[in-house]
A and B are shown apart, each in its own frame.
Chain A
Amino acid sequence: AQSVTQLDSQVPVFEEAPVELRCNYSSSVSVYLFWYVQYPNQGLQLLLKYLSGSTLVKGINGFEAEFNKSQTSFHLRKPSVHISDTAEYFCAVSDQAAGNKLTFGGGTRVLVKP
Protein backbone atom coordinates (compact mmCIF):
# COMPACT_ATOMS: atom_id res chain seq x y z
CA ALA A 1 0.00 0.00 0.00
CA GLN A 2 1.16 3.48 -0.73
CA SER A 3 1.20 6.34 1.74
CA VAL A 4 2.40 9.92 1.91
CA THR A 5 3.60 11.88 4.91
CA GLN A 6 3.95 15.62 4.93
CA LEU A 7 6.01 16.35 7.97
CA ASP A 8 4.90 19.94 8.50
CA SER A 9 1.25 20.83 8.83
CA GLN A 10 1.97 24.55 8.77
CA VAL A 11 4.92 26.61 7.58
CA PRO A 12 5.05 30.33 8.25
CA VAL A 13 7.57 32.18 6.10
CA PHE A 14 8.43 35.78 5.37
CA GLU A 15 7.99 37.23 1.92
CA GLU A 16 11.04 36.76 -0.33
CA ALA A 17 12.45 34.07 1.96
CA PRO A 18 12.99 30.51 0.73
CA VAL A 19 10.64 27.70 1.68
CA GLU A 20 10.89 23.92 1.71
CA LEU A 21 7.95 21.60 2.18
CA ARG A 22 8.83 18.07 3.12
CA CYS A 23 7.20 14.97 1.71
CA ASN A 24 8.04 11.34 2.30
CA TYR A 25 6.29 8.42 0.69
CA SER A 26 6.12 4.68 0.96
CA SER A 27 5.33 2.32 -1.85
CA SER A 28 6.32 -1.15 -2.85
CA VAL A 29 6.76 -0.34 -6.52
CA SER A 30 7.88 2.47 -8.78
CA VAL A 31 5.94 5.59 -8.03
CA TYR A 32 4.79 8.75 -9.68
CA LEU A 33 4.92 11.82 -7.49
CA PHE A 34 3.01 15.08 -7.64
CA TRP A 35 2.70 18.36 -5.82
CA TYR A 36 -0.60 20.24 -5.95
CA VAL A 37 -1.59 23.64 -4.57
CA GLN A 38 -5.03 24.50 -3.26
CA TYR A 39 -6.22 28.06 -2.75
CA PRO A 40 -9.16 28.66 -0.37
CA ASN A 41 -12.42 27.11 -1.54
CA GLN A 42 -10.91 25.92 -4.78
CA GLY A 43 -9.84 22.66 -6.33
CA LEU A 44 -6.26 21.55 -6.80
CA GLN A 45 -3.78 22.89 -9.31
CA LEU A 46 -0.80 20.84 -10.39
CA LEU A 47 2.54 22.43 -9.49
CA LEU A 48 4.85 19.73 -10.81
CA LYS A 49 5.24 16.02 -11.29
CA TYR A 50 7.89 13.33 -11.31
CA LEU A 51 7.26 10.38 -13.60
CA SER A 52 10.79 9.34 -14.55
CA GLY A 53 14.11 10.75 -15.69
CA SER A 54 15.80 13.71 -14.02
CA THR A 55 15.28 13.74 -10.29
CA LEU A 56 15.10 17.53 -10.17
CA VAL A 57 11.73 18.65 -11.41
CA LYS A 58 10.80 22.24 -12.14
CA GLY A 59 7.21 23.36 -11.98
CA ILE A 60 5.08 26.44 -12.28
CA ASN A 61 5.37 29.61 -10.20
CA GLY A 62 9.08 29.06 -9.51
CA PHE A 63 8.64 25.82 -7.56
CA GLU A 64 10.90 22.81 -7.90
CA ALA A 65 11.16 19.42 -6.23
CA GLU A 66 13.76 16.72 -5.98
CA PHE A 67 13.01 13.03 -6.06
CA ASN A 68 15.27 11.06 -3.75
CA LYS A 69 14.66 7.36 -4.10
CA SER A 70 17.00 6.26 -1.31
CA GLN A 71 15.30 8.58 1.16
CA THR A 72 11.85 8.09 -0.37
CA SER A 73 11.37 11.83 -0.39
CA PHE A 74 10.02 14.44 -2.78
CA HIS A 75 10.55 17.79 -1.08
CA LEU A 76 9.19 20.96 -2.64
CA ARG A 77 11.21 24.18 -2.67
CA LYS A 78 10.93 27.77 -3.76
CA PRO A 79 13.88 30.17 -3.39
CA SER A 80 11.78 33.29 -2.80
CA VAL A 81 8.11 33.26 -1.88
CA HIS A 82 5.43 35.84 -2.55
CA ILE A 83 2.33 36.71 -0.58
CA SER A 84 0.33 35.00 -3.32
CA ASP A 85 1.99 31.68 -2.45
CA THR A 86 -0.11 31.51 0.71
CA ALA A 87 -2.08 28.31 0.19
CA GLU A 88 -2.34 24.64 1.07
CA TYR A 89 0.14 22.32 -0.61
CA PHE A 90 -0.43 18.61 -1.11
CA CYS A 91 2.07 15.95 -2.01
CA ALA A 92 0.58 12.92 -3.75
CA VAL A 93 1.74 9.54 -5.00
CA SER A 94 0.33 7.04 -7.41
CA ASP A 95 1.54 3.73 -8.72
CA GLN A 96 0.32 1.05 -11.06
CA ALA A 97 -0.24 -1.39 -8.22
CA ALA A 98 -2.82 0.97 -6.73
CA GLY A 99 -4.59 1.33 -10.03
CA ASN A 100 -3.01 4.72 -10.51
CA LYS A 101 -5.16 6.25 -7.82
CA LEU A 102 -3.74 9.30 -6.13
CA THR A 103 -2.98 9.11 -2.43
CA PHE A 104 -2.53 12.48 -0.79
CA GLY A 105 -0.48 13.60 2.15
CA GLY A 106 -2.08 15.55 4.93
CA GLY A 107 -1.19 18.89 3.42
CA THR A 108 1.04 21.77 4.45
CA ARG A 109 -0.38 25.21 4.94
CA VAL A 110 2.06 27.90 3.86
CA LEU A 111 1.47 31.33 5.33
CA VAL A 112 3.59 34.04 3.77
CA LYS A 113 4.03 37.07 5.96
CA PRO A 114 4.96 40.53 4.70
Chain B
Amino acid sequence: GAVVSQHPSRVICKSGTSVKIECRSLDFQATTMFWYRQFPKQSLMLMATSNEGSKATYEQGVEKDKFLINHASLTLSTLTVTSAHPEDSSFYICSARDGQTKYNSPLHFGNGTRLTVT
Protein backbone atom coordinates (compact mmCIF):
# COMPACT_ATOMS: atom_id res chain seq x y z
CA GLY B 1 0.00 0.00 0.00
CA ALA B 2 0.89 3.64 -0.33
CA VAL B 3 3.26 4.88 2.37
CA VAL B 4 3.85 8.41 3.54
CA SER B 5 6.94 8.97 5.63
CA GLN B 6 7.04 11.98 7.92
CA HIS B 7 10.18 13.09 9.70
CA PRO B 8 11.01 13.83 12.43
CA SER B 9 8.45 12.14 14.64
CA ARG B 10 9.33 14.38 17.57
CA VAL B 11 11.25 17.61 17.82
CA ILE B 12 11.97 20.00 20.65
CA CYS B 13 13.27 23.43 19.79
CA LYS B 14 13.91 26.71 21.50
CA SER B 15 11.67 29.70 21.04
CA GLY B 16 12.76 31.81 18.08
CA THR B 17 14.31 29.01 16.06
CA SER B 18 12.93 27.39 12.92
CA VAL B 19 11.97 23.77 12.44
CA LYS B 20 11.56 21.86 9.19
CA ILE B 21 9.25 18.87 8.87
CA GLU B 22 9.51 16.58 5.87
CA CYS B 23 6.78 14.54 4.27
CA ARG B 24 7.70 11.97 1.63
CA SER B 25 5.57 9.67 -0.47
CA LEU B 26 7.64 6.50 -0.73
CA ASP B 27 5.96 4.50 -3.46
CA PHE B 28 3.76 6.91 -5.34
CA GLN B 29 3.83 10.38 -6.80
CA ALA B 30 1.95 12.88 -4.70
CA THR B 31 0.77 15.75 -6.82
CA THR B 32 -1.11 17.15 -3.84
CA MET B 33 -0.14 17.13 -0.19
CA PHE B 34 -2.06 18.49 2.75
CA TRP B 35 -0.72 19.74 6.06
CA TYR B 36 -2.83 19.45 9.21
CA ARG B 37 -2.41 20.62 12.75
CA GLN B 38 -3.91 18.77 15.69
CA PHE B 39 -4.21 20.14 19.21
CA PRO B 40 -4.45 17.72 22.14
CA LYS B 41 -7.70 15.78 22.15
CA GLN B 42 -8.98 17.73 19.16
CA SER B 43 -9.60 17.09 15.52
CA LEU B 44 -7.34 17.81 12.60
CA MET B 45 -7.40 21.30 11.18
CA LEU B 46 -6.28 21.77 7.60
CA MET B 47 -3.49 24.33 7.40
CA ALA B 48 -2.64 24.32 3.74
CA THR B 49 -2.75 22.45 0.48
CA SER B 50 0.43 22.14 -1.51
CA ASN B 51 0.63 21.24 -5.16
CA GLU B 52 3.88 20.17 -6.74
CA GLY B 53 5.60 23.04 -8.48
CA SER B 54 3.24 25.77 -7.34
CA LYS B 55 2.57 27.89 -4.29
CA ALA B 56 0.68 26.41 -1.40
CA THR B 57 -2.90 27.44 -0.69
CA TYR B 58 -3.36 28.36 2.93
CA GLU B 59 -6.56 28.10 4.92
CA GLN B 60 -8.03 31.18 6.47
CA GLY B 61 -6.22 32.22 9.61
CA VAL B 62 -3.01 30.35 8.86
CA GLU B 63 0.03 32.63 8.59
CA LYS B 64 1.84 31.78 5.39
CA ASP B 65 5.00 33.58 6.52
CA LYS B 66 5.17 31.52 9.69
CA PHE B 67 4.35 28.16 8.13
CA LEU B 68 6.39 27.91 4.96
CA ILE B 69 5.44 25.05 2.68
CA ASN B 70 7.54 23.81 -0.19
CA HIS B 71 6.51 21.06 -2.59
CA ALA B 72 9.47 20.96 -4.93
CA SER B 73 9.08 17.40 -6.15
CA LEU B 74 6.37 14.81 -6.62
CA THR B 75 7.54 12.91 -3.56
CA LEU B 76 8.52 15.57 -1.07
CA SER B 77 6.78 18.41 0.72
CA THR B 78 8.23 20.32 3.63
CA LEU B 79 6.69 22.48 6.32
CA THR B 80 8.96 24.97 8.05
CA VAL B 81 7.76 26.58 11.24
CA THR B 82 9.68 29.83 11.35
CA SER B 83 10.55 31.71 14.53
CA ALA B 84 8.71 29.14 16.57
CA HIS B 85 6.95 30.10 19.78
CA PRO B 86 5.45 27.93 22.52
CA GLU B 87 1.97 28.39 21.05
CA ASP B 88 3.19 26.64 17.91
CA SER B 89 3.64 23.47 19.92
CA SER B 90 1.32 20.91 18.39
CA PHE B 91 1.04 17.69 16.43
CA TYR B 92 1.53 18.27 12.71
CA ILE B 93 0.39 15.65 10.22
CA CYS B 94 0.87 15.53 6.49
CA SER B 95 -1.17 13.59 3.98
CA ALA B 96 -0.87 12.92 0.31
CA ARG B 97 -3.02 11.89 -2.59
CA ASP B 98 -1.65 9.57 -5.23
CA GLY B 99 -1.61 11.50 -8.50
CA GLN B 100 -2.50 8.36 -10.43
CA THR B 101 -5.74 7.76 -8.55
CA LYS B 102 -9.15 9.37 -8.78
CA TYR B 103 -9.80 12.73 -7.19
CA ASN B 104 -11.98 11.11 -4.52
CA SER B 105 -9.45 8.51 -3.47
CA PRO B 106 -8.49 8.40 0.20
CA LEU B 107 -5.56 10.34 1.50
CA HIS B 108 -2.50 8.60 2.88
CA PHE B 109 -1.26 10.02 6.15
CA GLY B 110 2.16 10.34 7.70
CA ASN B 111 2.68 9.39 11.33
CA GLY B 112 2.84 12.97 12.45
CA THR B 113 5.42 15.21 14.10
CA ARG B 114 5.08 16.35 17.66
CA LEU B 115 6.63 19.77 17.97
CA THR B 116 7.44 21.19 21.38
CA VAL B 117 8.74 24.74 21.59
CA THR B 118 10.39 25.65 24.88
Which chain B residue lies CB-closest to A6? B43
CA distance A102 to B93 in the complex (A): 13
Q: Is residue B25 contacting chain A, with contact meaning CB distance below 8 A?
A: no
Q: Is residue A72 contacting chain B, with contact meaning CB distance below 8 A?
A: no
Residues on B with beta carbons closer than 8 Å to the beta carbon of A51:
104
Interface 9-mer from A40-48, A63-71, A74-82: A40-48
- Contact mask for chain B residues 74-90; partner A; CB cutoff 8 A; 1 contact, 0 none: 00000000000000000
Please state if A34 and B112 are interface contacts (CB–CB under 8 Å).
no
Please state if A106 and B49 are interface contacts (CB–CB under 8 Å).
no
Q: Is residue A94 contacting chain B, with contact meaning CB distance below 8 A?
A: yes
Q: Is residue B53 contacting chain A, with contact meaning CB distance below 8 A?
A: no
Please state if A100 and B103 are interface contacts (CB–CB under 8 Å).
yes
Also in contact, A43 and B6, with CB within 8 A (given A51-B104, A94-B104, A101-B49): yes
CA distance A104 to B43 in the complex (A): 7
Which chain B residue lies CB-closest to A30? B104
Please state if A42 and B104 are interface contacts (CB–CB under 8 Å).
no
- Min CB–CB distance B22 → chain A (angstroms): 14
CA distance A19 to B43 in the complex (A): 21
Residues on B with beta carbons closer than 8 Å to the beta carbon of A36:
109
Which chain A residue lies CB-closest to B6? A43
- Min CB–CB distance B37 → chain A (angstroms): 12
Please state if B34 and A102 are interface contacts (CB–CB under 8 Å).
yes
Known: A41-B91, A101-B46. 16 other contacts (CB 8 A): A41-B9, A43-B93, A43-B111, A44-B95, A45-B109, A46-B106, A90-B43, A90-B44, A96-B103, A96-B104, A102-B107, A104-B44, A105-B43, A106-B42, A107-B42, A107-B43
Interface residues, chain A, CB within 8 Å of chain B?
32, 34, 36, 41-46, 49, 51, 90, 94, 96, 99-107, 109
What are some 18 contacts across the A-B interface (CB < 8 A)? A32-B104, A36-B109, A42-B111, A43-B6, A43-B109, A46-B106, A49-B106, A51-B104, A96-B103, A96-B104, A99-B49, A101-B34, A102-B34, A102-B46, A103-B46, A105-B43, A106-B42, A106-B43
